[in-house]
Amino acid sequence: METLGFLMDGFAVALTPYNLMFALFGAIVGTLIGCLPGLGPANGVAILIPLAFTLGLPPDTAMILLTSVYAGAMYGGRISSILLNIPGDEPAMMTCLDGYPMARKGRAADALAISAVASFTGGLIGTIGLIMLAPVLARFALTFGPAEYFALFLLAFATLGGITGKNPMKTVIAATLGIMISTVGIDISTGTQRYTFGVLELYEGIDFILAIVGLFAISELLFFVENRAGEGYRKINVGKLTLTFKELVSTIPTQLRGGVLGFIAGVLPGAGASLGSFISYTLEKQIVGRKGTFGEGDIRGVAAPEAGNNGASSGALVPMLTLGVPGSGTTAVLLAMLISLNITPGPLMFTQNADIVWGVIAALLIGNVLLLGLNIPLVGFFVRLLSIPPMYLLPIVTMVAFVGIYSISHSAFDLYFMVAFGVAGYFLRKLEIPLVPVILGLLLGPEMEKNLGHALILSDGDWSILWASPLAMGLWLVAGLGLVLPCLVGPLLRRRMNAAMKETPVSD
């Protein structure tokens, strides 16, 4: 099989000692990012981008580093869910339901072990799905013209809020703001200066890395300051591992189901890892039915959502790699890395930068193995880190963000700009305007404008070309649904998720 050959080449890239070292480093850092309070995966990857950039890493190494961080963050998110009942990131929410009761029964070590294994299975299934689906989708995407791409970008924005999104209008506003920021600078096709106000630093446009780091990292600091959440948590005792091999085997079907469902949810626009883990958990509860003790510390209740969210995180890479359209915050940040490495994401990447794409995919597989190996023996180490109070941690993270941005350009102007973005991010989050569409707008804005221009040149100025082909029409339709559905289905789904979370108070 052709794909297998590419995958082998990918392994050849990923298994070089240099890349392997960065994969290992990324996996450890990723787990830390996932489990430390106040450092979501998108946030963590964003802070690492400028560093990867200034280190002058070759593109394949940089991408391998960041994908390992991404995979690691999904592993790490479960640690605080299980031990503290506080999800490290949103998809880890469902793991609280059975993980925390298990920990209270003194089976924390078992819960951590089973979730590591389930994460591995989910990640593995997701990556296999990615390997099978991505080349097919990439080939199909080659038939897309500029009009289809324009519609596809709209679809990405429309579905970004997700089925569970609160107010689709706010997603639209956020995306528009992001695209507006991306229009600052000299217009590529005509050379017109747009919104530069004669400021030299604005001629090249606003660097999206700076915007991303500001929006995520600085606003996070401000949120912690406001909530005075600096104290941190008490120390937790993990206890001894009592998990039997039989128990582990008994969860295999659960893990497989969770992984597949999660992968599907990850690929679909607008679903994402949170829905992946939610569906896996609910379905498992239905299948096992009364025989299980869900909500009271059933190991299957830990395995299902973990397999689900790791499957989904690999699934979310499918649209990002093949279409250049990310479906989640973290994949959007990965896309930012690709763009700043001067790699045009999308179907052509599979032919032009095959070594990078397959290197990344192979790195995901290797990363999963590394993570499983790391997580079982090193869990005590990660748990100890969990008790670092945010009052020390967040200022240091902020400092690292400053260093990263400063080392790109050595200009203090960029730092002020980053702080300004942080303030903007704080206000937007306060007003419940989601930040991910802003970032996606920043990233996709130029591409969107370019495709609009190409489409209209092809049609000689006839706007109806944008929805002329059946494919484009279909994309518009799904985009429309993406905006309408949350209004209809969203409240229902949210109520069910809340009902499931009822007895376990979750701090955001």
Partner 1 sequence: MSGLGDRILGLGLLVLAVAYGWAAQQWPEPFGGAESVGPETFPTILSVVLVAGSLYLMVKPDPDAQWPLGKSALELVISLVVLVIYALLLEPLGFVIATTLAVGTLSWRMGALPARAFLTGLVSAVVVFVLFNYGLDLSLPAGLLEVS
Write each residue from 43 to 62 as x if it is in contact with partner 1 (CB under 8 A), else as -, in one continuous string.
-----------xx-------
Q: Contact at 8 Å (CB) between 69 and 32? A: no
Give the nearest distance from C-beta 414 to partner 1 in angstroms.
Answer: 9
DSSP 3-state of 294: coil
CB of 140 to partner 1, least distance (A): 27
At residue 167, φ and ψ (nearest 5 deg) are: -125, 100
Neighbours of 185 (CB within 10 A): 17
On the 0-12 / 13-18 / 19+ scale of CB atoms within 10 A, 8 is exposed
Q: Directed axis angle between helix 93-104 and helix 490-501, to 10°?
A: 10
Question: Would you say 69 or 130 has its CB closer to partner 1?
Answer: 69
18 touches partner 1 by CB under 8 A = no
266 sits near partner 1 (criterion: CB under 8 A): no
CB of 334 to partner 1, least distance (A): 22
Judged by CB, which is closer to partner 1: 185, or 373? 185
Choose, by CB under 8 A, the member of 424, 440, 448, 472 that binds partner 1.
Answer: 448
* DSSP-based three-state secondary structure for 454: helix
Point out which span in 25-33, 74-82, 222-230, 356-364 binds partner 1 (CB under 8 A): 222-230
Tell me the helix, strand and coil percentages in the chain, rounded to 5: 75, 0, 25
Q: Are 77 and 93 in contact (CB under 8 A)?
A: no
- Shortest spacing between CB 353 and partner 1, in angstroms: 26
Q: Which of 12, 128, 133, 177 binds partner 1 (CB under 8 A)?
A: 177
Site string for partner 1, 230-259 (x = CB under 8 A): xx----------------------------
Environment class of residue 292 by beta-carbon count within 10 Å: exposed (0-12), middle (13-18) or buried (19+)?
Answer: middle
**Distance, C-alpha 276 to centroid of its chain:** 13
Of 63-71, 293-301, 342-350, 384-392, the segment contacting partner 1 by CB under 8 A is 384-392
Q: How many CA atoms lie within 13 A of 50 on its CB side?
A: 26
Contact (CB, 8 A) for 263 and 247: no
| Exposed / middle / buried, residue 459 (Cβ in 10 Å: 0-12, 13-18, 19+) | middle
Q: With CB under 8 A, what is the number of residues at the site for partner 1?
A: 63
Q: Does 221 bind partner 1 (CB under 8 A)?
A: yes
Identify the residue among 406, 468, 481, 493 touching partner 1 (CB under 8 A).
406
Does the footprint of partner 1 cover residue 422 (CB under 8 A)?
yes
Is residue 460 involved in binding partner 1 (CB under 8 A)? yes
Q: Is 179 in the site for partner 1 (CB under 8 A)?
A: yes
Binding to partner 1 by residue 104, rule CB under 8 A?
Answer: no
Q: Any contact of residue 391 with partner 1 (CB under 8 A)?
A: yes
| 70/402 with CB nearer partner 1 | 402
CA distance 143 to 3: 20
Single-letter residue type at 301:
G
CA distance 43 to 53: 16
Q: Is there binding between residue 145 and partner 1 (CB under 8 A)?
A: no
Q: How far is the CB of 165 from partner 1 (least distance, A)?
A: 13
Residue 155 token pair: 């679809």
C-beta separation of 344 from 157 below 8 A: no
Report d(CA 200, CA 485) in Å as an integer. 44
Report the residue from 142, 252, 378, 399 that binds partner 1 according to the rule CB under 8 A. 399
**Which residues here bind partner 1, judged by CB under 8 A?**
54-55, 166-167, 169-170, 172-173, 176-177, 179-180, 183, 187, 189-195, 218, 221-222, 224-226, 228, 230-231, 389-392, 394-396, 398-400, 402-403, 406-407, 412, 415-416, 419, 422-423, 426, 430-433, 448-449, 452-453, 456-457, 460-461
